[in-house]
Each structure stands twice: as structure tokens, then as C-alpha cells.
A and B are shown apart, each in its own frame.
Chain A
Amino acid sequence: MKHYPPDAKWHEMADAGIIPQAGNAREYDVSGWRSEHPVRDAECCIQCLFCWVYCPDSSVIIKDEKVVAFDPVHCKGCGICAQVCPKQCITMEPGGEMPQE
């Protein structure tokens, strides 16, 4: 079984509370945990990648070694990226809604 449905009974699951797959955290949508969301000013950004290094949820999306967006499904809105940005290009805006890119 790839996923246990939300109404799975105790005897229908693997014992010891294991998840029979590895690395499936990416399938978990935590967008509802956010009360603020990061917004990056692309003009100001010097692509130092500090935000990418420090994001605890691997939610800074990189393309061709450049920051392009934040991951709207896994960003928890913690604000660490905004704190570590040396140019202060990231602002935490109120509300959990984030543009899906």
C-alpha cells in the first residue's frame, strides 16, 4: 500500500508506526501551517543562495543555480529566509496564500 487512507484501521497498517516508503515527506502538504509567506524582491536579490542553504524545509526553489521561487506546498512560513538574507530582499507578508508557480 503506498498510502494509508485517513480512515485506515489499526490492523491495516504496518506495525511499529513505520511508513513503508522512504522520503515521502514531500507528499505532505503543510501549506495550512503558514500564517505568513515569503516574498522576494528579484531586483534586489544578489543570488547568494543563503536563503536556500538556511531554509529548514528545502522550500527555496533553484533553477540553473538561481533562486526562482518558494515552494508553496512545503514552505511553513518560518521567516528564516528573510532573517538570513544579507540584502534584506525577502519580506514576510501576512497570510498563508502563496502564488502557485
Chain B
Amino acid sequence: MGILQPLEGNMAVAEAMRQINPDVVAAYPITPSTEIVQTFATFVADGKVDTNYVAVESEHSAMSACTAAAAAGGRVMNATSANGLALMWEILYITASLRLPVMLTVVNRALSGNINIHCDHSDTMGARDAGWIQLYAENVQESYDNLIQAVAIGERMDVRLPVMSCLDGFLVSHSYELLEVEDDDAVREWVGPYKPNRPLLDIENPYTVGPLDLYDFYMEHKRSQWEAYPTAMQAVIEEGKRFGDAFGRHYGLMETVELDDADIAIVALGSAAGTAKDVVEQLRDQGVKAGLLKLRCFRPFPGEQIAAALAGRKAVCVMDRAASFGAGTGPLYHEIAAAMYGAGHAVPIQNIIYGLGGRMLRPEEIETVFRDLVQIAESGKVTETCKWLGVRE
């Protein structure tokens, strides 16, 4: 049985890491994720885990060490944010290409400049093509639950991919919440022991990892990596169900609120979805048929499932907590608009960019988004595809 504990997002993540007891953590601290590795380092010092904790000199080294340790045959975890993730960039692609299930908690923070330590999704959105699975948490409970599931998803022998478990900087990482922390043994049993796939330290069976790979074979290797993502999406669904069966909290690719009969709907990631839930309920009380699609799994991108869920709405708004500069819209909008077009659904879609660098998203603002959607549903037209919300104009 789990017990209810008041914990901050970062502490809940550190707690999940303690329960998972990885072989190696190689980390370099960065706000707002510092507390995760700091708390975990005390677990190591107090002998509560068997982890080999490597204090490295940069995030580039951190991810290099993590990737190497995973190739050697260890279960490996790490945490970072924003500029730290950016410094890992080169290695992120290699970890995924080598099919190594490294678990990285990303506490989402604005990627400079100017320098800012608060939440937006510019860090992980930029890393969306690196080949990592990405799960986004709405609150502290989900941050804890997602990391435990991430291990099971990424380590599945038919998946073998690294996972970013994302939570909103400060909004979730530094917010206290009463969450259910499961029993240590139950978590360990649910996750299971680590089974390395061809560990490099198996000196009886040497092989070559990460060799020069040119025009004659590289494309076949990328094609083979491509094949892992539909399987990974299936694993997200199956492990979400298995987790729910064990602990009572079921997860899937997305969560919907009042969506089935909604005329107008918002799509959001992370903590904004929590605020939007309240607004949806208020509007429902007023007779407005509002709904919400909270996307949990952004990579692999469940385009078909999203399109099916949004089909039949009269107007949709995709909320982006990141700007894709030069694209004219945010990254989540691109993918959802493409998925809707591909599925043949001609639903008008508004794009909103909000919350950059920790700018507060208030319920009244979400309500104005829904009010605008009522207009769009009536006219069938989006006058301005991308609007900025909460900016002084």
C-alpha cells in the first residue's frame, strides 16, 4: 500500500529514483532540477541506494557518462533543465541511436536568452527530434508515476529507448502536493530487475558500438531505429495500464476531460492542463460544451489518436508553451494541425503561445481562449492562426 506524503515535485522524483535504485547517476546540477540530484546524492551518501554517483564537470559529460554506463550494461538515470539539456544535445541523439534506455527527468525551463530560470517547454520541444520518448506530467503525482513507468517503457526489450520524463519548472518541481508514494518493494517489483541488452562489460562477447557508419549502411540503421517508435507508443499504453492495475492510477497517451461531446476544445501539455480542467468544469456548469485534451506522450507522437479524439469538434485551440521562431506557430500546433489534415478533419485550429519564461497562466485567460473558440466555431474561421496570450500589447 502506498502512503500519502506531502512532497515537492523534485523530491517526489528523487524518491522515485531511490526506489528504482539505478546503477549509475551522472549528473550536473541546474535550476530548477538541482534538488533532484542533490536529494538523490544524500540517498547515496546515506547508503540508501547502491548507485554509483558520478559528479561530472558539465551536462555534456553527464550525458556522455550516462550513455557509456548504459552501454556498459547499467540502469542509468539523470536530471536536468533548459541550458543543461542543451549542452547534452549532441549526446542525446547518440543515446537514442544506440538504443540505450537512459532515464532523464527534465524539469522544464526556458532556454535563454535572456537568462531565465522559470518554466516553459522550449528546452524539451527543441529536443523533440532526438529520438527520446517524452512524457509530460501535470502535477507532482504524475511526475512520480511517469518516472517509474518511464523505466518500464524504455527498458522493454522491444523498445530500448531513452525517456525524458518532463515536469514544469517551479510550477510542479517546487510545489508541494499530497501524493501517493508507493511501497519500495512494490515499486521495485513492478519495475523489475534491469536486464542489460548486450552489455559492453560482457568481455566474452565483444562487439563494436558507435562505429563510423557512412552512406552505405547509415540509412538502414536509421530506418531500423524508426521502427522502434510505434512499438514504444504501444509500450506507453500497456505500461500505463499495468501501472494502473498495480497502483490504481491508470495512464495512457493522453487524458481527456469532457471531450467526447465537446464543441470546443483546448489541447495542452503539463501543468496548464490542470488549470484548464477547472475552467472546463466551470464552463460546463454554464452550459458551454468545452473540453480538454491533455497530451501526456508527445514522443512518440500519437497523431492518429489525437486526430480521432478531436474529430467532430467545431473549433480547437492548441496551447504551446514554446515558440518555434520563424515557423509562425508553436511546435505542438504544427504536429496536431498536420495530424488533423492527414486524417481529413477540417476543424479550425487556433494556436496560442503562452507562459514563456514562467509567465503565469491564469484561469480567466484560459476562459478567454474558450470564448474566442465559441466565435471561431460559429464563423468556422480562424482569423489569426497564432496569438500570444498573457503578453502586454
Question: Given contacts A10-B220, A10-B223, are A17 and B206 in contact (CB under 8 A)?
Answer: no
Main secondary structure of the interface of B (DSSP, over half): loop
Task: Give me the interface of B with A, judged by CB distance under 8 Å.
Answer: 97-100, 160, 198, 206-211, 213, 216-221, 223-225, 227-228
Binds B, one of A19-27, A59-67, A77-85, A90-98: A19-27
Q: Between A and B, how many residue pairs show CB distances below 8 Å?
A: 58
* Shortest Cβ-Cβ A-B pairs, 6 listed: A22-B206, A10-B220, A19-B208, A17-B221, A10-B223, A16-B99
Nearest CB on B from A84, distance (A) = 25
Interface mask (A1-25 → B, CB under 8 Å = 1, otherwise 0): 0001010111101011111111111
Nearest CB on B from A96, distance (A) = 19
How many residues of chain A get a CB closer than 8 Å to chain B's CBs?
A: 18
Task: Specify which chain B residues have a CB less than 8 angstroms from the CB of A15 in the assembled complex.
Answer: 99, 160, 224-225, 228
Show 14 A/B contacts (Cβ-Cβ < 8 Å), sorted by A: A9-B220, A10-B221, A10-B223, A11-B224, A15-B160, A16-B160, A17-B97, A17-B210, A17-B217, A17-B224, A18-B207, A22-B207, A23-B206, A24-B208
Of B219, B220, B223, B225, the most chain A CB neighbours within 10 A belong to: B220
Question: Given contacts A10-B220, A10-B221, A10-B224, are A16 and B98 in contact (CB under 8 A)?
Answer: yes
Question: Given contacts A16-B99, A17-B97, A18-B198, are A4 and B207 in contact (CB under 8 A)?
Answer: no
Nearest CB on A from B302, distance (A) = 23
Q: Contact partner of A17 among B100, B213, B216, CB < 8 A?
A: B213
A13 touches B217 (CB 8 A): yes
| A6→B99 CA distance, assembly (Å) | 23
Across the two chains, which residue of chain A brings its CB closest to B210?
A17
